[in-house]
Structure 1
Amino acid sequence: MKFVIQRDQLMTAVQNVMKAISSRPVVAILTGIKLEARKDGITLTGSDSDISIESYIPAEEEGIIHVDHIEEGSIVLQSKYFPDIVRKLPEQIVEIEVDESLKVTIRSGKAEFNLNGQDAAEYPQLPKLQTDDSFELPIDLLKSLIKQTVFAVSTMETRPILTGVNMRLADQTLTFSATDSHRLASRTVPVTETTNEFSNVVVPGKSLNELNKIMDDSEEKIQISVTNNQILFRTKHLQFLSRLLDGNYPETSRLIPDASKTILYVSTKDLLHTIDRASLLAKEERNNVVRLTTKNNNMVEIASNHPEIGNVTEEVSISSMEGEDLKISFSSKYMIDALKVIDYEEVKIAFTGAMRPFIIQPVEDDSILQLILPVRTY
């Protein structure tokens, strides 16, 4: 095997596949990066058997040559050394050559590295997803779906199914939801060009976080294919395969109250910053509890107190209020997480009483929903 490649292109592909490589893999060879050279380009693969990432560099694209002098073949290189070598090579042009005995030579400028490779035949074959159940989304839309939900997955392995995000596709509407049983984050988007339907697809939160890091913000499309135990995200140069979580995801729609007693309209940023300040004295508490109390003249008071440290109160003005007065306590962390992902200037918060879950939504967009359970403080 032999090829000459642009270093930047190679580095980007290496960084992408490294996100799937574990330092303690199930199979020893999975600590390596697989390189495969074909006449049309180079494919790099990284996998930890839960997530597999393939990054493809075409030999030529739109008249620009990325890879040249290709002699076909494949090799597995140690991920502990190869990325650092590529990063520190002196020139933009890199030549990689593999001989019969799997010795790998990497040349750039006056630098030459010789590494021992491993036989690519021993690298596990990635499952090829045969599915008609595919649909497409703009990449930037998928990124916002992930951002607005994945933070609410559970970090506790006691209920493994809650460590993932539930994807549902029904009536040409795609819904992402995540819950750790104390809060719920959900977002819906229309998907018009498909008649597919599925309900119990649960993607590990870790997989979605890694996918989010590799995808560039763009309006290009990403193709999503689902089978019963895996999901594939595919763009022109990237394939990201993740296993799905086993088990039935709980029916979260039951948590959402259908009536409310108090509704507040408030600036997202003002409320976020006020709660953030109040939480400074709530750090010691496990839940970082703050208290919200409605006041006259379109004000709410945000307060927090800690018997040993002190207390804080701050009033924040609201645009308007409907319904009954209210006093409620909740986790400042959960509220900050929820407000941070709402990219709208004003939110509407609907309460159904001091001990019932409440809902936060942008005033202009009800496709985004954040639900938080209050905290008992007596």
Structure 2
Amino acid sequence: MKILCNKADLLKGVSTVSKAVPSKTTMPILECILIDATSAVIKLTANDMDLGIQTEIKGTIVEKGMIAIDAKIFSEIVRKLPDSEISIETNDNLQTTITCEKAKFDLAGKSADEFSFLPKIEKDVSINISEFTLKEVIRQTLFSIADNETNKLMTGELFEFSGSTLRVVSLDGHRISIRKIELKEDVESKKLVVPGKTLSDITKIVSGEIDKDVVLSYTNNHIVFEFDNTTVVSRLIEGDYFKIDQMLSNDYETKVKINKREFLNSIDRATLFVKEGDKKPIILDIGEEAIELKIKSQIGSMDESINIEKEGKDLMIGFNPKFLIDALRVIDEDEVTLYLMNAKAPCFIKDEKENYIYLILPVNFNVGA
């Protein structure tokens, strides 16, 4: 095999597929990137058996062939080469030579026969979503997945298709994030639980342009994202997702409209008095025309008032400030509405059409502490 390609194109391709290279594995072949130059285009592939990524790069195929190269060393070599044309050549013994200007590297490759290719997915259903919309939906929900694997389902997001609607849900036991978007066509009802890592990687490699689409397809075991000459195939998380609708309520005793930026900045300032790992709550004292935000720790205390529009009862309630900040940061509106029942019941932050819903559980607090 011999191929020629521009450094920028090769580096982009290597960076894209490297996200599917496992950090730890008992199978050395999975630590490799496959270079496939057997057809009219050059394809790079990496696969950790749960997540596989394949991308096409521009270049010239001088001699057709395939080789698997250790991803870590290959990535480092490409990154540090001059910004010029790169030649990659292999011989019958799988010895690989990478040349760029006056730099030359020789390294041992592995047989492509050992490599785990991406699974073939029967595409019964294909759904087009703009890159921008998909990236935004993931950004606005991914922060509330669980970061440990005590419950595998909590480490993923629910993709629930129904008619012309996609609802994306994440939760970690303390909060729930929901985003709802309209699709371009009606689809059959389906629920999929997509790993959070897959979605995080998607946001890093999708450019996010409004006029470009991601084509999404799925089976009972896999989901496929196709965009920009790149294919991402991910295993789904098995199991029935939590009954979210049972956790949601439209009942409230207190409704608060507040300027999002003022509210967010005030909570952010309050966290100056919270050390990392400290679980000091921020207390919201909701009055007739203003909300008073209070926090007190060993470092100091803060007290700030923000004007609000309120319906219903006065209320004092405490929250983990990080959970409020995470939700407010991803809401694009200038004004947000909070719906509350009492100091022990969850707070709902949502818009009128419920295109987004953020449920946050309150925490106990001592008024004088």
By the TM > 0.5 criterion, same fold?
yes
Where has structure 1 moved over 4 Å in runs of 4 or more?
none
Task: Confirm or deny that 1:212 pairs with 2:203.
Answer: yes
Amino acid at match of 1:369: I
Task: Confirm or deny that 1:10 pairs with 2:2.
Answer: no
TM-score, structure 1 as length reference:
0.93
Aligned to 2:44: 44
SS of structure 1 residue aligned to 2:72: coil
- CA displacement at 1:313 relative to structure 2: 0.8
User: What is the rounded CA distance, in whole Å, between the counterparts of 1:93 and 1:74 in structure 2?
Assistant: 20
Q: Residues 102, 114 of structure 1: CA spacing in aligned structure 2 closer, same or farther, 3 A cutoff?
A: same
Q: CA-to-partner distance for each residue in 1:10-49, whole Å, 9 max, x for gaps?
A: 0000000111111212421111111001342111011211
User: What is the rounded CA distance, in whole Å, between the counterparts of 1:222 and 1:151 in structure 2?
Assistant: 22
- CA displacement at 1:89 relative to structure 2: 1.5
SS of structure 2 residue aligned to 1:304: strand
Query: In 2, are the aligned partners of 1:279 and 1:289 still within 8 Å (CA)?
Result: no
Aligned to 2:275: 283
SS of structure 2 residue aligned to 1:94: strand
Of 291, 305, 308, the residue aligned with 1:315 is 305
Gaps of 5+ in 1: 58-65
User: What is the rounded CA distance, in whole Å, between the counterparts of 2:314 and 2:176 in structure 1?
Assistant: 25
SS of structure 2 residue aligned to 1:11: helix
Query: In 1, are the aligned partners of 2:163 and 2:186 still within 8 Å (CA)?
Result: no
Q: Residues 91, 189 of structure 1: CA spacing in aligned structure 2 closer, same or farther, 3 A cutoff?
A: closer
User: What is the rounded CA distance, in whole Å, between the counterparts of 1:147 and 1:288 in structure 2?
Assistant: 26
SS of structure 2 residue aligned to 1:124: coil
Of 195, 198, 219, the residue aligned with 1:227 is 219
CA RMSD of aligned residues (A): 1.5
User: What is the rounded CA distance, in whole Å, between the counterparts of 1:69 and 1:44 in structure 2?
Assistant: 13
Identity of aligned residues (%): 33
Q: CA-to-partner distance for each residue in 1:162-214, whole Å, 9 max, x for gaps?
A: 11101100122100000112100000111132422202x11111111111111
- CA displacement at 1:91 relative to structure 2: 4.0
- CA displacement at 1:271 relative to structure 2: 0.4
User: What is the rounded CA distance, in whole Å, between the counterparts of 1:26 and 1:81 in structure 2?
Assistant: 18
User: What is the rounded CA distance, in whole Å, between the counterparts of 2:279 and 2:196 in structure 1?
Assistant: 22
User: What is the rounded CA distance, in whole Å, between the counterparts of 2:26 and 2:245 in structure 1?
Assistant: 37
Structure 1, 286-295 or 9-18: larger mean CA deviation:
286-295
Of 161, 182, 189, the residue aligned with 2:181 is 189
1:276-355 alignment runs, 5 A limit: 276-283=268-275, 286-296=278-288, 298-306=289-297, 308-318=298-308, 320-355=309-344
Amino acid at match of 1:73: G
SS of structure 1 residue aligned to 2:314: coil
Aligned to 2:164: 172
- CA displacement at 1:283 relative to structure 2: 2.9
Aligned to 2:75: 83
User: What is the rounded CA distance, in whole Å, between the counterparts of 2:248 and 2:59 in structure 1?
Assistant: 54
Q: CA-to-partner distance for each residue in 1:46-101, whole Å, 9 max, x for gaps?
A: 121111111112xxxxxxxx312432110001112111111122242111111111
- CA displacement at 1:286 relative to structure 2: 4.4
Query: In 2, are the aligned partners of 1:39 and 1:71 still within 8 Å (CA)?
Result: no
TM-score, structure 2 as length reference:
0.95
Query: In 2, are the aligned partners of 1:170 and 1:197 still within 8 Å (CA)?
Result: yes
Query: In 2, are the aligned partners of 1:174 and 1:190 still within 8 Å (CA)?
Result: yes
Query: In 1, are the aligned partners of 2:8 and 2:83 still within 8 Å (CA)?
Result: no
Of 42, 46, 64, the residue aligned with 1:72 is 64
Aligned to 1:63: none
Query: In 2, are the aligned partners of 1:153 and 1:180 still within 8 Å (CA)?
Result: yes
State the number of aligned residues. 365
Aligned to 1:139: 131
Gaps of 5+ in 2: none
User: What is the rounded CA distance, in whole Å, between the counterparts of 1:301 and 1:285 in structure 2?
Assistant: 24
User: What is the rounded CA distance, in whole Å, between the counterparts of 1:91 and 1:183 in structure 2?
Assistant: 47
User: What is the rounded CA distance, in whole Å, between the counterparts of 1:160 and 1:372 in structure 2?
Assistant: 21
User: What is the rounded CA distance, in whole Å, between the counterparts of 2:199 and 2:280 in structure 1?
Assistant: 27
Amino acid at match of 1:23: S
